[in-house]
Amino acid sequence: MTTTRFAPSPTGRLHVGNIRTALHNWMLAKKGGAKEQGRFMLRIDDTDAERSKEEYVEAIRTDLAWLGISPDGEERQSARMALYEAAFEKLREAGRVYPAYETAQELEVKRKILLSRGLPPIYDRGALEMSEADRAAKEAEGIAPHWRFKLDHDEPITWEDGVRGSQKFDPAQLSDPVIRRADGSWLYMLPSAVDDIDMGVTDVLRGEDHVSNTAVQIQMFTALGAQPPSFAHEALLVGKEGKLSKRLGSLGCDAFREQGYEPEAIVALLARLGTSLPVEPIAEREKLLETFDLSTFGRAPAKFDDNELHRINAAIVHQMPFEKVRGFVPDDFTEAAWHAIRPNLEKASEVVEWWQIVTGPIEQPEFSEDDREYLGEAARQLDFDADDPWHALTGALKESTGRKGKALFLPLRQALTGMNHGPDMGELLPLIGEDEARERLTRAANG
């Protein structure tokens, strides 16, 4: 069974890049139909006790629920410390972790020296050259060590990436990563690998900024006696200007909700963003899942464009059934009203403004004397006994006044709605009703 995971840190709200990662992992687990569906796990990476906040944990759950992404289970790293301790001891006994005592300033000096010589700033493993006496002296000074994972330099690290293809890293060109701070707290690398093993994660899909982390973690899996999962690294999101944008970091579900976007539109856009498949207003998850395939993912940065989201959202709203809006429209708002107004909406929340046109009051423009006379004629000719009052009215007025085109239709729309454009008047006029329509036409005729 395919098992994927989404592992956010609860140090802030989810942004659009996080949302895309969560969605793609959910889709990777759920593609293939009900019988073949795998598990999608939520892992809260809250080992950073100082920055992690419970309000963000709740926000993550709320945002995923709003998007219709339902985890099949949830784990919290703060409740799994015993597992990390056990893995750490296993690695220490095997000689795969070692204490290091350099300060941040000392490491920075080493880095600058290497760069000045035109060399890659790789950790020199100076801590491995320390004797027991050296370590004892550091301890006596009250200097607690941080801990590094010792990479095996004997063989290259290789894997077949689900997006990037064959990958190969020379471990000698990588720094032994710090896995534990001097205060005993954990960094990302080891707990993540331990959790993937314990949770049975089979597929890790994440951003391409984690590629070098994957090289290191593959050795961690092996050192812990586990088979590494399959890895895939997708291109990162950029803004429409083609650059990494700080603004993308502030675009989250709370912002999308405030701006009136539908979760189906966000899912439809992000599901295919960065793939060779066309971005279409597909509201049905099953259709998106049918076409989800890592082979369609490209290496070029995926461009997030607000205009594209706006277009997709409007198209999703135009497909939306009445049941979706019943909860926030006025009590007297009917399915016929939704059918009439829906084609003019870009966001479902705009329906309340459009309904105001039906219920009134409306503000009419100034009309010329000819138009006022014409509208008075319209008030007299209005016939709600006809099967189609609007076309009966315009047909009669065309016959009696000789008007056609814009001169025939625009003054009527302006008098009846106060606008130059809008919903189909054939559907809108019955919603306005005979008495109100006649009153608006008479008021416009009287100036």
Q: What mean pLDDT comes out for the span 220-226?
A: 98
User: What's the confidence (pLDDT) of residue 331?
Assistant: 87
Distance CA 413, CA 419 (A): 7
Domain with CATH 1.10.1160.10 in the chain: 239-319
The dihedrals phi and psi of 165, each to the nearest 5 degrees, come to 80, -155
pLDDT of res. 35: 60
Q: Find out if CATH 3.40.50.620 is the number for domain 3-76+193-235.
A: yes
**Residue % of the chain over a pLDDT of 90:** 91
> Mind listing the pLDDT tens digit for each residue in 16-70?
999 999 999 999 999 966 566 899 999 999 998 889 999 999 999 999 999 999 9
Output the six-digit token pair for 295.
């082979």
Return the CATH number of the domain spanning residue range 83-180.
3.90.800.10
pLDDT at residue number 52 = 94
118 pLDDT band, cuts 50/70/90, is: very high
> How far is 91 from 70, CA to CA, in rounded Å?
35
Length of the chain: 447
Per-residue confidence band for 251, with pLDDT thresholds at 50, 70 and 90: confident
List, by residue range, all CATH 3.90.800.10 domains of the chain. Answer: 83-180
Q: What is the mean pLDDT of residues 269-297?
A: 96
Confidence check: pLDDT of 99 > 90: yes
pLDDT band at 243 (very low <50, low <70, confident <90, very high): low
Report the pLDDT value the prediction gives residue 225, as an integer from 0 to 100.
97
- Reported as a single tens digit per residue, the pLDDT across 274-286 is 999 999 999 999 9
Question: Span 191-213, mean pLDDT?
Answer: 97
Residues of the chain with CATH 1.10.10.350: 359-446
Residue 12's pLDDT is what?
A: 92
Quick: pLDDT tens for 320-335: 999 999 888 888 899 9
Rounded distance, CA 29 to CA 36, Å?
9
Would you state the pLDDT for residue 352?
87
pLDDT at 244: 60
Reply yes or no: is the peptide bond before residue 361 cis, omega within 30 of 0. Answer: yes
Range from 168-177, 227-236, 344-353 carrying the lowest mean pLDDT: 344-353
pLDDT at 241: 74
- Location of each CATH 3.40.50.620 domain in the chain: 3-76+193-235
Kindly tell me if the per-residue pLDDT of 172 is higher than 70.
yes
What average pLDDT does range 1-13 have in this prediction?
95
Strand 146-149, strand 97-100: pairing: antiparallel
Give pTM, 2 decimals.
Answer: 0.89
Which residue has tokens 């995926």? 302
CATH architecture of 239-319: Orthogonal Bundle (1.10)
Q: Is the pLDDT of residue 245 over 80?
A: no
- Average pLDDT, whole number, for the chain? 94
Task: Tell me the per-residue pLDDT of 406-441, one tens digit each, with 9 for 90 and over.
Answer: 999 999 999 999 999 999 999 999 999 999 999 999
pLDDT digits (tens, 9 = 90+) for 381-415: 999 999 999 999 999 999 999 999 999 999 999 99
Q: What Rg value do the Cα atoms of the chain yield, rounded?
A: 32
Give the Cα-Cα-Cα angle 212, 215, 219 (nearest 5 degrees).
Answer: 145
- With a pLDDT cut of 70, the percent of the chain lying above it is 98
359-446: CATH number: 1.10.10.350
Judge whether 240 is annotated as a binding position: no
Dmax over CA atoms of the chain, in Å, equals 110
